[in-house]
Structure 1
Amino acid sequence: MHKVYDRWPEIARKNYFSDLSQIEFTKCPHIVFAGMGGSGAIGDIFSAILSKTSTHVTVVKGYHLPKTVTNNSVVVVISISGNTVETISMLKNAIEINSKIIVFSDGGKIKDICNEKNIPHRNIKKYHSPRASFTSFLYSMLHVLKPIIPIEEKDIIESIKELENMSIKINSKKISKENPSIQISEWIKDTPVIYYPWGLEPVAIRFKNSLQENSKIQAVIEDVIESCHNGIVTWDKQNNFQPILIRGQKDYEKTKERWEILKEFFSEKKIDYKEIISENGNILTKIICLIYLLDYASIYLAIKLKVDPTPVNAIEYIKNKLN
């Protein structure tokens, strides 16, 4: 797994500059991202990128598309394995609705359905596992969907360059106390509660999933603003949780104020917390570099806990029962 993660910047660059054909339309009032797990997390990133545009975005993780999806909607179906049962169900649902459909997978049953129904399919290589294939799929999709994704090429190039800079600090050749991913893994000793601002929700979801899949530990995520209306009360008593604050460079002013109040509250309660701040740059750069940093932290934590990050036996158990 670590060998693939060391190559993330290279894989990102290769897939963004691939020869995959781009979509041929430019207007898209409603775009739906349909996928589960690591594939669904990619949809979360596109939702964050598009959040400040007039495009209506829906991310669906389940068996059925909502009634708001029509034949005017663009449904982007993502299944890295190509065999995810929920995603296959959503693809069939989109076919029934007669939506515009774009499909990304590394073969599988989904590709067979696309061939049978004459649906555009882009075959993206899987590296090691779905979660390790993150940059392969994300940057291929940024290339293919470019006509309807309002993010400038210079921003995408910036994100790849910052991935390269991040790799120098955190990759498997940098085994030292200066490695920020190792620092995070060393700090985690109990169950993390991951606080995030709305724009960085994809980072929090991905970090939670990576801790669960790679490190085999539980984790909780909380929107920092919403949590101040409910979840924060749980810190009034001692517990076995550890707060992690994921902050963006140039967060909204009121969000910055909330962070400072929260930190003051934790300090008064003598609760140790970990603050993780994004790189500078556009929203894609912030998200992808945080994901790289935190994914690697989950791998180093697995090593510290003496568990193999690769197997996901419980997931396989459920998949086998479904089959």
Structure 2
Amino acid sequence: MSREISGFTDDLAEALESETHVRRRYKHVMVCGMGASAIGGAIFADSMYYSSKVSVDSCKTMALPEWVDKDTLFVACSYSGETYETIFMYKLALDAGLDVITVTHGGKLRKLSEEIGTPIVPIKGKDMQPRSAIGWFIGILGAIIEDAGGPGIRHQLRMMLPRLREYQREIESEDGIAWRIAKDLEGHVPVVYGAPDMEAIAVRMKNQLNENSKIIAFSGVVPEFNHNEVVGWYDDPYRTKFMPVVI
């Protein structure tokens, strides 16, 4: 896991060079996936809400909304290529006549895409746990959204790479911020809060605590929490067992 986490920046850099096979502009990009394979789409759906002329939606359902049309690009994301829900939605999108792209490392989804002839943007590199492929999903989806008519995400992310490498060294240090946060959280149930354009990041941290640390954790969004959860933080006698984390 340590090796996979350390590979995030290199994975992101390589993913940004991917050939997306997008040949025209769209009004909507629908990113479909489950679990870790969906987080990249959710990050862009949040962060681009105010800045993109192309709407980005993160889909985790088993049906297409009525608003999808010929101006919707459907992106099916599954690291393993075996996710039942994603394969089901891939077929549904094809039946609806949508343009479809798959982002996968292999499995049934890749085989199906090859048989049908829909474009594939492969996740390369060594096998890893799907939740560790976040660099690949962010890089590939950013490139797809840009080519579909979104803002210049590739350039923005490339400009961030040097800082990300610096942060990586800080995070991996035994007296770095990650260790300090871990020590503060020990013995508490983390509740991770993010702003509306960072909600998916809060979910990502919560999921990592669940899966990697094997602990219960929750996430929420501000300022919405001001209207309900904040009362619990003031009045609940069990509040000292929880630790808020604001990102």
User: Could you tell me the TM-score, scaled by structure 1's length?
Assistant: 0.70
| Stretches of structure 2 lacking an aligned partner (at least 5 in a row) | none
Check the 8 A contact 1:64/1:89 in 2, yes or no.
Answer: no
1:211 aligns with 2:209: yes
What letter corresponds to residue 80 of structure 2 in structure 1? S
What letter corresponds to residue 200 of structure 1 in structure 2? M
- Aligned partner of 1:183 in structure 2 is 180
Give 1:220 deviation, angstroms. Answer: 1.4
Counterparts of 1:32 and 1:112, CA distance in 2 = 21
- Aligned partner of 1:243 in structure 2 is 244
Give 1:170 deviation, angstroms. Answer: 1.3
- Aligned partner of 2:34 in structure 1 is 36
Larger of the two Rg values belongs to structure: 1
Check the 8 A contact 1:22/1:143 in 2, yes or no.
Answer: no
Give 1:3 deviation, angstroms. Answer: 1.1
Which has the bigger relative contact order, CA under 8 A and spacing at least 6? 2
| Stretches of structure 1 lacking an aligned partner (at least 5 in a row) | 247-323
Corresponding pairs, count: 240
- Aligned partner of 2:5 in structure 1 is 5
Instruction: Report runs of 4+ in structure 1 exceeding 6 Å deviation.
Output: none
- Aligned partner of 2:22 in structure 1 is 23
Give 1:74 deviation, angstroms. Answer: 0.8
- Aligned partner of 1:78 in structure 2 is 77
Counterparts of 1:114 and 1:100, CA distance in 2 = 12
Deviations 1:283-304 (A, max 9, x none): xxxxxxxxxxxxxxxxxxxxxx
Give 1:144 deviation, angstroms. Answer: 4.2
What's the secondary structure of 1:70's corresponding residue? coil
Counterparts of 2:42 and 2:33, CA distance in 1 = 10
Counterparts of 2:237 and 2:220, CA distance in 1 = 18
User: Could you tell me the TM-score, scaled by structure 2's length?
Assistant: 0.91
Deviations 1:162-218 (A, max 9, x none): 2111111112xx22x2x1001111111211111211011111010111111111111
- Aligned partner of 2:97 in structure 1 is 98
What letter corresponds to residue 33 of structure 1 in structure 2? V
1:169 aligns with 2:170: yes
Give 1:39 deviation, angstroms. Answer: 1.2
Distance 1:186 1:38, change over 3 A: same
Q: How does 1:194-273 map to 2 (within 5 A)?
A: 194-235=192-233, 236-239=235-238, 240-246=241-247
Larger deviation, residues 58-67 vs 212-221: 58-67
Check the 8 A contact 1:22/1:146 in 2, yes or no.
Answer: no
Larger deviation, residues 224-233 vs 61-70: 61-70
Please, what is the CA RMSD of the aligned residues? 1.7
